[in-house]
């Protein structure tokens, strides 16, 4: 099968409901508390969709270019409320929390054939790296890249 460029997105499933972001909260653990609250009563799910580049008129370099191919659902990602084990307060000695604090997300943490394409993604790579370094410095955390 020939390689094709694709855009992807994750859409929340309707059954997730909504949880508006509070304005002016002083809760430094807002996201943790929101996740704990959500998983007490419900699973969470996302529909994963892709949009394939169909022809050469669909640019990966110009992010203003609207692709006209359909978004196709390819998977549903479900997080079962019964297997979530979120501590009510961060345990700084827990190996999972340590791993979470020291890792950074980047779409560039992928297989070479899945690398992000286009000028905007090349710019994102630099920005993600700098933000990760800044966050780790501010939190006095050791920055580690995932194992290859």
Q: What is the pLDDT of residue 78?
A: 95
- Which tokens sit at 49? 């969709």
Q: What is the pLDDT of residue 67?
A: 93
The three-state secondary structure class of 14 is helix
Question: In this structure, how many other beta carbons lie within 10 angstroms of the beta carbon of residue 146?
Answer: 10
**Gyration radius from the chain CA atoms:** 19
CATH 2.40.180.10, the chain: domain bounds: 1-87
Please say whether the structural domain 1-87 has been given the CATH code 2.40.180.10: yes
Alpha helices in 42-102 (DSSP H): 95-102
The model's pLDDT over 30-77, given as tens digits with 9 standing for 90+, comes to: 888 888 888 888 899 999 999 999 988 899 998 888 899 999 999 999
Average pLDDT over residues 77-106: 79
Q: What is the pLDDT of residue 147?
A: 62
The three-state secondary structure class of 12 is strand
What percent of the chain is modeled with pLDDT above 70? 97
Reported pTM: 0.73
For residues 101 and 25, the model is more confident at 25
Q: Which of 35-39, 113-117, 127-131, 143-147 has the lowest mean pLDDT?
A: 143-147
């Amino acid at each position: 099968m020939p390689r094709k460029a694709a855009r992807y997105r994750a859409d929340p499933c309707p059954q997730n409901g909504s949880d508006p972001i509070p304005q002016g909260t002083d809760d430094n653990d807002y996201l943790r508390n929101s996740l704990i609250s959500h998983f007490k009563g419900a699973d969470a799910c996302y529909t994963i969709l892709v949009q394939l580049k169909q022809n050469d008129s669909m640019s990966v370099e110009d992010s203003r270019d609207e692709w006209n191919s359909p978004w196709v659902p390819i998977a549903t990602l479900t997080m079962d409320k019964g297997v979530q084990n979120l501590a009510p307060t961060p345990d700084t000695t827990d190996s999972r929390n340590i791993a979470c604090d020291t890792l950074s997300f980047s779409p560039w943490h992928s297989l070479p054939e899945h690398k992000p394409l286009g000028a905007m993604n090349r710019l994102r790579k630099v920005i993600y790296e700098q933000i990760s370094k800044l966050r780790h410095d501010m939190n006095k955390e050791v920055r580690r890249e995932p194992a290859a």
